[in-house]
Amino acid sequence: MKEKGFKSLVTLEEARDKFFSSFDTVEKTTTLPLTKAGGRITAEEILAPRPAPHYRRAAMDGFAVVASDTFGASQSSPNRIRVGEKVEPGVATPVHTGGLVPEEADGVLKIEETKKQAKKLDVYSSVAPGDNVSPIGEDVKRGDTLLEKGNEINPAHLGLLRSLGVEEVPVAEKPVITVIPTGEELVSPGEEPGPGQTIQSNGIMIAEYARSCGGSPVEDEVLSDQPDDLKKALSQKVEGSDAIVFTGGSSVGRRDRIVEVLEKEGEVLVHGVAIQPGKPLGLAAVEEVPVIALPGYPVATLAGAYFFLKPLIAQMTGWQAREKTTTVQVAKKIHSPLGKLSLVRVTVTEGKAYPLRVSGSGVLSSVTRSDGFVLVPRDSEGLAAGKETELHYWR
Amino acid sequence: MKEKGFKSLVTLEEARDKFFSSFDTVEKTTTLPLTKAGGRITAEEILAPRPAPHYRRAAMDGFAVVASDTFGASQSSPNRIRVGEKVEPGVATPVHTGGLVPEEADGVLKIEETKKQAKKLDVYSSVAPGDNVSPIGEDVKRGDTLLEKGNEINPAHLGLLRSLGVEEVPVAEKPVITVIPTGEELVSPGEEPGPGQTIQSNGIMIAEYARSCGGSPVEDEVLSDQPDDLKKALSQKVEGSDAIVFTGGSSVGRRDRIVEVLEKEGEVLVHGVAIQPGKPLGLAAVEEVPVIALPGYPVATLAGAYFFLKPLIAQMTGWQAREKTTTVQVAKKIHSPLGKLSLVRVTVTEGKAYPLRVSGSGVLSSVTRSDGFVLVPRDSEGLAAGKETELHYWR
């Protein structure tokens, strides 16, 4: 009755390389109006269809002038010109910041440097040709890159695109992520769990995680551990899914049958990764659809999603995700096992990271109480107090 | 024709204090099923309705035993007991990790420490009472706080709530933010701007910004600078809005009429804030509805939204926003004017922040090209090269 172990653990880097290189970067794209594009990922580089400004723009409130009319002017010895409808030598026209500088003008004189009396204008300083005039294309030239491919479209992007007349954007489709929770001991939400039973909760967690990473999740009904049920679900879901995530049953115990099923139905690329939590994790390809078999312990489930599902969605959408981390100082020694990359939940107070006392990877409240996590390298037994490290966030 | 100036600039802190203390923290709440609660803000503390585990749970695969049956056992001198259906002195029962530990057992013996032959079980080590048994409530006690009030509900929260049988969550309603862009020089999206004209683009930017902060934005049609039009829009929109944001026309020029209208229709709390960009900014209350009049230059508009709209939405929803910042090193001296808190757009490469060369607050591409911004205090003329500072993100 001794459990068989994993054939061998591979490192996180090896597992990622093997998994992500096994699939073409499928980027399904669609075109959305700007009003629906917020938060989506650009599927192509977006170029400026016109320059900004698209006309010679006044940078100050004042008067459009022929610059040479102002040469030599000073506070003590002002030049006198006229204000008129049309700029010409000796005649200036009022302009507002942002307004059009008439063709005949080659400078804008600040209003503070003038005094106007009826049609007469005293000029108290000189402007050089080009002063206070933004030439066409000063901000953005026609054909400039407005957004790179793989950008997450934010409020400023929308403003920029709209101001340049771009009203439609090619974006990546959200990949359909089918989430299938498994486990004999699980009861459905709304049911009362008996002793030894647990309410199935990984499904909603991973579905929401996939959504927050830009996927379109579909949460399936909970399945038993029976290979026939698993096989049936797999063959039904491969069609119509861009990726499939199982939770539970990914280890090597008597009731861990998913990897066995995946071996028959497709190709298992990795089983067992040198990370903690999250070790009993399987990665497979079934009919060219990526399949991630996550362990059932909630913290391990989430860690596996962080290491594999988030980058998978990024690969599928072309998302150039830039992870935000914060530098923190280890407040007290963090212990971790040699041989595995450890993800250690911490709370942070005044820039200092305190490891959470946790009794195992089953305790999701250790995640919800944490401010994020720090990583301890595989070849290290921990992080010393005082060491600076990066705080990672779950998404 | 000289423009009148601001009466006086107030500091950011003064402006915030005055504005946010002028409104009751209106928290409209609603109850949502868990499946719709992701990303929303909890309106109340949420307590555990039951403990977890809710039964005595095995922490290992092995055998539930009466601990005293194992006392004295060792590798060289195993104890021998029996395997049966019911635990009693001398009889053990198989259990799986996560399974129920029978009432009669007070310990779980790891499978690796045993050898089973038919009904006979050799025990190679001893367990103390309680070993490998998670008592009821070990992870979460009944009545423990699962989520604080004001938490943004994330995937792990959803998993935790579901696992404890919480299927409905009280959350803050999303405040309705009416966005009204103004300006004579603006044309509507889809129209071709003539010389001196600009496509109205602040509306979509601020609407998306409000959405990303948890608001429910309504973008209005662009308005002229005419006081009558502004007054009419204001009186129509006060009803049905939790807050109103104008963009453009908030300064003190001839065409900046919004603050004048706000003075007549309500109370102007602040006009002119010592921040850059964003100085010509008005804050008012009209029939107890907060009104933010943002300047029209896109970068100033966004800066004003960052400093006032984001915290306003947080106040209205009770969102305990924890801003994520990253420590960076100033790569080259950053100059900024004394007397104003400056928001300096930067790009970051290998932890070093480089200020972006920008020609003004009209250039939104300086935001989209930036990785975020750093703040230079009001009493400082810049940040020296090499100094550590925090990188802020626009949302």
Q: Indicate whether B296 belongs to any domain.
A: yes
Closest approach of B342 to chain A, Cα-based (Å)? 19
Last residue of a domain, one of A298, A317, A336: A317
Which amino acid makes up residue A177?
I
Q: Indicate whether A3 belongs to any domain.
A: no
Instruction: Determine the pLDDT at residue A45.
Output: 97
Q: Check CB contact under 8 Å for B155 and A395.
A: yes
Instruction: Determine the pLDDT at residue B395.
Output: 75
Q: Which pLDDT band holds residue B357 (cuts at 50, 70, 90)?
A: confident
Q: Which pLDDT band holds residue B363 (cuts at 50, 70, 90)?
A: confident
| pLDDT tens digits along A289-300 | 999 999 999 999
Closest approach of A199 to chain B, Cα-based (Å)? 5
Q: Which of A109, A121, A365, A395 to mutate to test the interface with B (most CBs of B within 10 A)?
A: A365
Q: Indicate whether A1 belongs to any domain.
A: no
CA gap B245, A129 in Å, rounded: 39
Q: Which pLDDT band holds residue B360 (cuts at 50, 70, 90)?
A: low
Q: How far is CA B383 from the centre of its chain?
A: 28
Which pTM value belongs to this model?
Answer: 0.93
CB < 8 Å to B189, chain A: 34, 162, 167
Tokens of A104: 């005949």
Closest approach of B228 to chain A, Cα-based (Å)? 22
Tokens 């066409």 appear where? A136
Tokens of A324: 């935000």
| Kind plus residue range of the DSSP H or E element containing B207 | helix B202-212
> Does residue A183 share a domain with residue A160?
no
Q: Which pLDDT band holds residue A362 (cuts at 50, 70, 90)?
A: low
Which among A134, A147, A208 has CB closest to B155? A208
CA gap B216, B213 in Å, rounded: 9
DSSP string, B179-224: EEEB-TTEE-TTSPP-TT-EE--HHHHHHHHHHHTT-EEEEPPPB-
> Does residue A347 share a domain with residue A244?
no
> Does residue B282 share a domain with residue B199?
yes
Q: Which of A116-120, A354-358, B61-65, B175-179 has the lowest mean pLDDT?
A: A354-358
> Does residue A250 share a domain with residue A121?
no
What is the DSSP secondary structure assignment for residue A245, as one 8-state letter?
A: E
Q: Which pLDDT band holds residue A366 (cuts at 50, 70, 90)?
A: confident
pLDDT (mean) for A47-54 = 95
φ and ψ at residue A298, rounded to 5 degrees: -50, -40
Is B359's pLDDT higher than 70?
no
> Does residue A376 share a domain with residue A286?
no
Q: Indicate whether B1 belongs to any domain.
A: no
Q: Check CB contact under 8 Å for A38 and B208.
A: yes
Is B141's pLDDT higher than 70?
yes
Q: Indicate whether A5 belongs to any domain.
A: no
Task: State chain A's maximal CA–CA distance in angstroms.
Answer: 104
> Does residue B177 share a domain with residue B161?
no
Instruction: Determine the pLDDT at residue A1.
Output: 30
What is the DSSP secondary structure assignment for residue A41, as one 8-state letter?
A: B
| pLDDT tens digits along B167-226 | 999 999 999 999 999 999 999 999 999 999 999 999 999 999 999 999 999 999 999 989
For residue B130, give the CATH number of its domain. Answer: 2.170.190.11
In contact, B163 and A198? CB cutoff 8 Å: yes
Instruction: Determine the pLDDT at residue B2.
Output: 34
> Does residue A330 share a domain with residue A227?
no
Tokens 């459905």 appear where? A188
Q: Which pLDDT band holds residue B361 (cuts at 50, 70, 90)?
A: low
Last residue of a domain, one of B172, B194, B219: B172
Domain count for chain A, please give it.
Answer: 4
Closest approach of B160 to chain A, Cα-based (Å)? 6
> For helices A310-317 and A12-20, what crossing angle results, to 10°?
30
Q: Check CB contact under 8 Å for A365 and B208.
A: no
Q: Check CB contact under 8 Å for A158 and B206.
A: no
> Does residue A258 share a domain with residue A191?
yes
Share of chain B above pLDDT 70, in %: 97
Which among A38, A159, A326 has CB closest to B298? A159
CB < 8 Å to A193, chain B: 54
Q: Indicate whether B116 belongs to any domain.
A: yes
Q: Check CB contact under 8 Å for B204 and A34.
A: yes
Instruction: Determine the pLDDT at residue A363.
Output: 78
CB < 8 Å to B96, chain A: 253, 255
Q: Check CB contact under 8 Å for B196 and A61.
A: no
In contact, A210 and A312? CB cutoff 8 Å: no
CA gap B5, B280 in Å, rounded: 10
CB < 8 Å to B209, chain A: 155
| pLDDT tens digits along B252-264 | 877 889 999 999 9
User: CB under 8 Å to A357, separation ≥6 — which residues?
Assistant: none
> Does residue A269 share a domain with residue A238?
yes
CA gap B358, B338 in Å, rounded: 18
Instruction: Determine the pLDDT at residue A6.
Output: 79
| pLDDT tens digits along B5-64 | 677 799 999 999 999 999 988 789 999 999 999 999 999 999 999 999 999 999 988 999
Q: Which of B115, B163, B164 to mutate to test the interface with A (most CBs of A within 10 A)?
A: B163
Peptide bond into B53 cis (omega under 30): yes
Q: Which of B34, B119, B201 to mutate to test the interface with A (most CBs of A within 10 A)?
A: B201
> Does residue B46 share a domain with residue B20?
no
| pLDDT tens digits along A314-332 | 999 999 877 888 889 999 9
> Does residue A299 share a domain with residue A205?
yes
Last residue of a domain, one of A317, A348, A364: A317
For residue A259, give the CATH number of its domain. Answer: 3.40.980.10
CB < 8 Å to B144, chain A: 365
Q: Which of A104-113, A316-325, B342-351 has the lowest mean pLDDT?
A: A316-325
Domain residues for the domain of B360 are 326-391
Q: Indicate whether A262 belongs to any domain.
A: yes
Q: Check CB contact under 8 Å for A156 and B54.
A: no
CA gap B275, B339 in Å, rounded: 8
| pLDDT tens digits along A51-89 | 999 999 999 889 999 999 999 999 999 999 999 999 999
Instruction: Determine the pLDDT at residue A92.
Output: 98
Q: Which pLDDT band holds residue B1 (cuts at 50, 70, 90)?
A: very low
φ and ψ at residue A292, rounded to 5 degrees: -115, 120
φ and ψ at residue B261, rounded to 5 degrees: -70, -40
| pLDDT tens digits along B19-30 | 999 998 878 999
Checking DSSP bridges between strand A79-83 and strand A91-95, what pairing results, if any? parallel
What is the DSSP secondary structure assignment for residue B43, as one 8-state letter?
A: S
CA gap A4, A252 in Å, rounded: 6
Is B231's pLDDT higher than 60?
yes
For residue B163, give the CATH number of its domain. Answer: 3.90.105.10
Q: Indicate whether B204 belongs to any domain.
A: yes
User: CB under 8 Å to B141, separation ≥6 — which residues?
Assistant: B48, B51
- Calculate the average pLDDT of chain B: 93
> Does residue A335 share a domain with residue A312?
no
Give CA separation, B233 vs A267, B181, B188, B218, B355, in Å: 63, 11, 17, 13, 39
Instruction: Determine the pLDDT at residue A259.
Output: 95
Determine the residue of chain A that is closest to B391 in CA distance.
A326
